[in-house]
Amino acid sequence: MSLSQAQKKAFRSIGHYLDPVVTVSENGASEGVLAELDRALGDHELIKVKLALPDRDDRAAMLDELVAASGAELIQKIGKMALLYRHNPRVNPKLSNITRFENHHGRR
């Protein structure tokens, strides 16, 4: 599913307020990191990921691997931070960063 530019813009504005929930270090995309990424996307739909790798090319390759492994869509990448989204039709509205932001800011 491809998101519209308006949806991506709205998600970027939400992402500005998020803290990273998954950090990937030089150990790479271990089984634990992938499990945490899957859990976080399932719970929150929109998450920020920190890529704690010094080399830009390594960060780009790792991000490609995370997106492919999780089925998420890359919304934005700035430096060592990436914003990922994966729709969950059965998400808990109290956990979804999108629903919580929309409810808090009166958007629908």
Task: Write down all domains in the chain, each with its CATH number in brackets.
Answer: 5-105 (3.30.110.60)
Instruction: Give the pLDDT of the chain (108 residues) as one tens digit per residue.
Output: 578 999 999 999 999 999 999 999 988 888 999 999 999 999 999 999 999 999 999 999 999 999 999 999 999 999 999 999 999 999 999 999 998 888 777 654
Q: What pLDDT sits at residue 26?
A: 85
**Gap between the Cα atoms of 43 and 29, Å rounded:** 20
- Structure tokens given for 85: 């989204």
Cβ contact 66:24 at 8 Å: yes
Q: What pLDDT sits at residue 108?
A: 46
Q: What pLDDT sits at residue 45?
A: 97
Q: What pLDDT sits at residue 95?
A: 93
**Gap between the Cα atoms of 19 and 28, Å rounded:** 20
Q: What pLDDT sits at residue 81?
A: 97
Burial class from Cβ neighbours inside 10 Å (0-12, 13-18, 19+) for residue 75 reads: buried
